Structure 1
Amino acid sequence: MPVHLSSLLLLLAAAVLTVVLCRSVKLPAMLGYLLVGMLIGPHALGLIASSDEATHLAEFGVVFLMFTLGLEFSLAKLNAMRRLVFGLGAAQVVATAMLAGGAAVLGGYDWKIGLALGGALAMSSTAMVSKLLSERNELNAPHGQNAIGILLFQDLAVVPLLIMLPVLGKPGEELLLALGLAAIKIVCVLVLLLNVGQRLMRPWFNLVAKQHSSELFMLNMLLVTLGIAWLTELAGLSLALGAFLAGMLIAETEYRYQVEDDIRPFRDLLLGLFFVTVGMNLNFGTLASQWWLVLLMLAFLLPGKILLIAGIARGLGHAPGASWRTGFALGQGGEFAFVLLALAMSAGLMPPELAQVTVASVVLSMLATPFVLQHSDKLVLRLAASEWMSMAANLHQIAVRTMQSQGHVVICGYGRSGQSLARLLAHEEIPFFALDLDPEKVREAAAAGESVVFGDAAKREVLMAAGLMRARALIVTYADTHSALRILELVQQLRPELPVIVRTYDDSDIDRLRAAGAVEVVAEIMEGSLMLASHTLMMLGVPLNRVLKRIRAVREDRYQMFRGFFRGTVEDLEEGERPMPRLHTVLLVAGASAIGRALGTLDLVGLHVEVKSLRRKSQAAVTPDAELVLSEGDVLVLLGEPENLAAAEMLLLQGH
């Protein structure tokens, strides 16, 4: 039965409300879509009956998910992390799949069902894990690199599973032939697409891009994605596999990021619909009767998978703390489990009851993951004795470095902004101490003699070791509102009178950060626009004192700290002070005295005027040398005091 407009409106309203709720409690949107499907589906409130049309449309969500995965799949990154990917990643996928599959066989299921179940449970949530680790600034930490390596191999493992699952449902005598035929097909398709496709993709996209039409570019991208997916389906393979290959081909061109931005709305919308349909298919009656199996599978996913991954990482030589943290990050099921389960059900391979139990377990494990990671630090300290020693050694190093510091500035983050601030403080002979979570950056900066150590500024012990109680100020130099709020909360608990300045990307979080205790919040976009405006006004000949006055007025309105500063312009000069220099533009009109003369022959230096740049017709501005011969239409940008600029303009135009 087709989806009626009333049902569609109900679906959209429920999705919007639930996703807003999930966002407000820092949960992924996919969980909101799953909950919507579970609540309004035919097995719960029954507000929307199951629909073939909705299911078919949702299949395109999987296509775009696989296409995005192909876009993000980097052979260079795979090669750089090959030891983690093909060592730790391969061991995790194989061990998890074998354990889950073996348990299914022992439970009386066929080995084919065990293979499908094992493949589904071996997957973790790439979207959730990468987002949570990024928010915690742990992507560059050892366990973050371990997690990314394992996720890369999981992405690779999806491809053979997409090929195998559709043919596993065939009878035993046809199975071997079907698997062999599928292998031959995938080899032929890969050779055809990766050899011929790579040669055609770049020139074809170049041709389309030269038309300068965003609509045509979008149509071409959809044509390529769905076209290659259709070709793989014709070859007896899946649409999802073709979409993955299409993404890989486009990832090798320079249009990768443009395509990724263009396809995101389609992908998110259709993928959301896919998760809604997954939730709609959950039968609560079946789950109620099989609750013990749901709990058993959930126990395998969370404590079981965590222990398995931590044990494998430890066995491969990784530190105990990093091994446990890797396990905590990847203990959940993932979005590709839904894809593989749906494929297994459509092939008649997976019993609907078992599929629903598995989906419910995966959903519950994903719901638990943010809370598991939130408490992972405390759990690791209990489980890994060496982690106490490592943390104590790190805190001791920080404390020793700051022991003699008094009235210093604590800099949280030693990126470009942090390093620029540190250099300015050093010039003013103001002591500082920096914390950063990039070990390579810390190693190089410390080797150069700079006052920076490895440490997470969002942890109470690290801030205390950095001399928070003796500091003059604390500056958060990276634009991460979530981390900044954690730091502000700690500062308010430990030393509420300490001034804290926070950097943010735009104005959206200023009120939250100020309410949390920030003395001032510096927005990148705001400062960038002010500098852009000031340079534009000066290039257009607006006097420097007027430009500074305008910028000062905006800053005074925006920044409480800057009120009363930026004085010293012409209108409020102190006695004996000279006027400030400004930029001024002079156009050499027809008949101007300077036309045909070399710039060096004009006595502008004697007038205390500097030529900052010269623009000629449509060419970019350049810094002219003394030998440059001036022409009609040239625009000179001069720097000097007002009286001297007036004299220079008369010299250029009238010759005296």
Structure 2
Amino acid sequence: MAGSIAPTTALSDALVILGAAGIVIPAFARLRITPIIGFILVGLAVGPYGLGALVPRYPWLYHVTISDPHAIEPFAEFGIVLLLFEIGLELSFNRLWSMRRLVFGLGAIELLVSALLLGLVLRASGETTPAALGLGLALALSSTALVLPISGTQGPVGRAALSMLLFEDIALVPIIFLLGAIGPMAAAGGGPSLFDTLWKGGMVVLVLLVAGKLLLPRLFAQAAKTKSPELFLAASLLVVIVAALATGAVGLSPIMGALLAGLLIAETEYHGEVEAITKPFKGLALGVFLITIGMGINLAVVWRDFWPLLAGVAGVVVVKALVTTVALRIMGKQRATALQTGILMASPSETTLIVLGTAGTAALIDAETAQYWQIVTAIGLTITPLLAKLGEISGARVERAEGRSAEAEVEEPVGDRAVIIGFGRVGRLIGEMLKAHDTPYIGIDSDPAMVREARAAGMPVLFGNIEAATVVDRLDLDHARALILTMDEPVLVSRIVRKLRARRPDVPIIVRARDATHAAELYRAGASHAVPETLESSLQLSEAVLVDLGVPMGPVIASIHEKRDELRKQIMEDGELDALPRLKSSRLRERNA
């Protein structure tokens, strides 16, 4: 009998989760509301403090509630692992290295100062010094699982949020060891030392880096040859799970292994396919995590302790928002970016619950205090989308206040027009050339300083993140004559090209590529023309040399166009781009002949 109960329970829980995903995601998408709130509300409704509490009285509710909340926790943890893996896919080691100042500067300031101020407030309210330290560090953490899907990893807000969250993920292991070391139960713990964990973790990371560089291209090449999506998915999940288990086995966080796996795959040419094939699983697993958050909210306790809980949530949000905003201003960020990011990062994190559990195990805080802050954390996670919206509105108001006079001078074109996505140095030059030939256009960029400068010069440029659906709607792509992408973010650009091509199969998409290999990938994604910077600089240099040597301009331009078409054809046909090496070899053979 017992053997038949567990499968039935698992199927019932699966029915609730899949039903929630099938109802919540479309319904909230239609209302243009993030499904995050929907999943948390579902967890609140079907959990042990919602309809689940009525199962003894109405047994039929068993089939539409979660009977064992702890049974789905592993799926929620896997959702976080997949989320960090997806973040790794959007990064690269070069980009991560370029962000080191933000990660270890801004991230450290935000975490440590927030923890210090929250700890001082808690110490003044009567907590012991170790308890105040533990609670301060726990509450200073922000939610990777909720913040990054909202902000993305591009643009000023996305990059700032990503840098702080990466530092928090790195700091999680030292925080847990610190609380275990200062707790009254530390002497009886007998666990591994921080030094052991760090050196073993360093060895595991080194092995993963070397093995990833050597094995991953071969693994995915073999999977790609089979042309089997199932095998490609299996290979992707295998890499994620092995990396997460490897780092978890030596005491590091499994999410660190998942992030590392994403970074390694991002360096291969298969990262776009891996991202596309794993994305649905990440969304579903993240939904399970959010349902578990909702199930942890006891409405009876919330009602009974409404004002103390409100004070706790408000205190955490205000302190973290102020610290983050000031830290970003110190690091030179614009007021609008600092304010929007500060409010977005103000709620606690899913990892706050882990640190609270560690503090409770170390006897730094009692069970009642832990329950109070767990509910505060759950409420804070629930209101994260609302804080994101508040931050977006506040940032927009500051932006309008600072650039109101410039915006008033700009008249945005209506009707058919070109759309320039990314209005930095390259995008601005394209805009000037379009204007010189009386061709209407509109630009968009996520850097408020660039937008303000362009609008002050009378150029029709909007502020926004192209990954957001509302921003795409503002651009009115149905009237776009051409789409020009100029950002120097290879992974992001490839993803946007696929999205734009799916929306407008007929429109020309002209894209700036980093090199010929990136151009080949963009052609596969749907670009009409991909312009590699390395090849164009070579062609321009050749043109200048030939003209200076006295060759007439007409034949020079004709030969440059011919060579450009030849290289484009090689890129599109080869896919891998060995065009330049072969080109050099053919020239050497011609010279020797």
Question: Matched residue of 1:219: which SS?
Answer: helix
Alignment of 1:452 with 2:459, yes or no, is: yes
Q: Match of 2:390?
A: 372
Q: Match of 1:261?
A: 276
CA, structure 1 residues 280+444, in 2 after alignment: closer, same or farther (shift >3 Å)? closer
* RMSD value, Cα: 4.8
Greater helix share, structure number: 2
Q: Match of 1:160?
A: 171
1:95-134 correspondence to structure 2 within 5 Å: 95-109=113-127, 114=132, 117-125=135-143, 129=147
1:49 to 55, 64, 67: 67
Q: Where does the alignment leave 5 or more consecutive residues of structure 2 unmatched? A: 53-64, 483-499, 509-565, 567-571, 574-593
Report how far residue 226 of structure 1 moved: 1.6
CA, structure 1 residues 194+374, in 2 after alignment: closer, same or farther (shift >3 Å)? closer
Q: Which residue identity does 2:204 align to in structure 1?
A: V
Structure 1 distance, partners of 2:297, 2:107, is 31
Q: Which residue identity does 1:280 align to in structure 2?
A: M
Q: Which residue identity does 2:39 align to in structure 1?
A: Y
Question: TM-score scaled by structure 2?
Answer: 0.64
Alignment of 1:172 with 2:180, yes or no, is: no
Alignment of 1:30 with 2:36, yes or no, is: yes
2:216 to 193, 197, 201: 201
Alignment of 1:482 with 2:479, yes or no, is: no
Quick check: 1:302–1:331 contact (8 Å CA) kept in 2?
A: yes
Structure 1 distance, partners of 2:393, 2:507, is 42
Structure 1 distance, partners of 2:417, 2:214, is 49
Q: Match of 1:298?
A: 313
Report how far residue 334 of structure 1 moved: 4.5
Quick check: 1:164–1:179 contact (8 Å CA) kept in 2?
A: no
Structure 2 distance, partners of 1:347, 1:44, is 31
Structure 2 distance, partners of 1:354, 1:265, is 34
Q: Which residue identity does 2:164 align to in structure 1?
A: F
Q: Match of 2:291?
A: 276
CA, structure 1 residues 113+18, in 2 after alignment: closer, same or farther (shift >3 Å)? farther
Q: Which residue identity does 1:284 align to in structure 2?
A: L
Structure 2 distance, partners of 1:367, 1:479, is 17
Structure 2 distance, partners of 1:339, 1:444, is 45
Quick check: 2:419–2:441 contact (8 Å CA) kept in 1?
A: no
CA, structure 1 residues 441+249, in 2 after alignment: closer, same or farther (shift >3 Å)? same
Q: Match of 2:89?
A: 71
Q: Which residue identity does 1:44 align to in structure 2?
A: G
Structure 1 distance, partners of 2:428, 2:105, is 37
How many corresponding residue pairs?
468
Say which one has the larger Rg. 1
Structure 2 distance, partners of 1:315, 1:444, is 22
Report how far residue 30 of structure 1 moved: 2.5
Structure 2 distance, partners of 1:191, 1:296, is 45
CA, structure 1 residues 96+185, in 2 after alignment: closer, same or farther (shift >3 Å)? same
Q: Match of 1:245?
A: 260
Farther off after superposition, 124-133 or 186-195: 124-133
Report how far residue 366 of structure 1 moved: 0.8
Q: Which residue identity does 2:77 align to in structure 1?
A: E
1:83-482 correspondence to structure 2 within 5 Å: 83-109=101-127, 114=132, 117-125=135-143, 129=147, 140=155, 145=156, 147-162=158-173, 164-165=175-176, 168-169=179-180, 171-173=185-187, 178-334=193-349, 336-337=351-352, 351=367, 352-377=370-395, 380=398, 388=401, 390-395=402-407, 398=409, 413-415=419-421, 436-437=444-445, 452-454=459-461, 482=470
Quick check: 1:504–1:524 contact (8 Å CA) kept in 2?
A: no
Q: Which residue identity does 1:452 align to in structure 2?
A: M
Q: Match of 1:635?
A: none
Structure 1 distance, partners of 2:279, 2:405, is 45
Report how far residue 421 of structure 1 moved: 10
Per-residue CA shift, 1:356-405, capped at 9, x if unaligned? 22323323431422441353157638xxxxx74x3244246x26xx7xx9
Per-residue CA shift, 1:404-452, capped at 9, x if unaligned? x9x998969544999999978865x68x5856446798799999xx962
Quick check: 2:106–2:328 contact (8 Å CA) kept in 1?
A: yes
Q: Match of 1:534?
A: none
Per-residue CA shift, 1:568-593, capped at 9, x if unaligned? xxxxxxxxxxxxxxxxxxxxxxxxxx
CA, structure 1 residues 73+445, in 2 after alignment: closer, same or farther (shift >3 Å)? closer
Identity value in percent: 28
Q: Which residue identity does 1:198 align to in structure 2?
A: K
Report how far residue 42 of structure 1 moved: 0.7
Structure 2 distance, partners of 1:413, 1:164, is 47
Structure 2 distance, partners of 1:249, 1:346, is 35
Report how far residue 344 of structure 1 moved: 6.5
Higher RCO (C-alpha 8 Å, min separation 6): 2
Report how far residue 49 of structure 1 moved: 2.6
Per-residue CA shift, 1:106-128, capped at 9, x if unaligned? 44556665555444433445565
Quick check: 1:338–1:359 contact (8 Å CA) kept in 2?
A: yes
Structure 1 distance, partners of 2:463, 2:116, is 38
Quick check: 1:414–1:435 contact (8 Å CA) kept in 2?
A: yes
Report how far residue 76 of structure 1 moved: 1.8
Per-residue CA shift, 1:529-575, capped at 9, x if unaligned? 599xxxxxxxxxxxxxxxxxxxxxxxxxxxxxxxxxxxxxxxxxxxx
Structure 1 distance, partners of 2:303, 2:503, is 55
Structure 1 distance, partners of 2:502, 2:21, is 32
Question: Matched residue of 1:22: which SS?
Answer: helix
Q: Match of 1:558?
A: none
Structure 2 distance, partners of 1:342, 1:109, is 17
Question: Matched residue of 1:452: which SS?
Answer: coil
Structure 2 distance, partners of 1:222, 1:435, is 39
Structure 2 distance, partners of 1:356, 1:90, is 24
Q: Match of 2:77?
A: 59
Structure 1 distance, partners of 2:276, 2:263, is 16
Report how far residue 161 of structure 1 moved: 0.5
Report how far residue 149 of structure 1 moved: 2.4
Quick check: 2:145–2:286 contact (8 Å CA) kept in 1?
A: no
Structure 1 distance, partners of 2:472, 2:240, is 40
Structure 1 distance, partners of 2:360, 2:87, is 23
Quick check: 1:479–1:503 contact (8 Å CA) kept in 2?
A: no
Structure 1 distance, partners of 2:455, 2:125, is 57
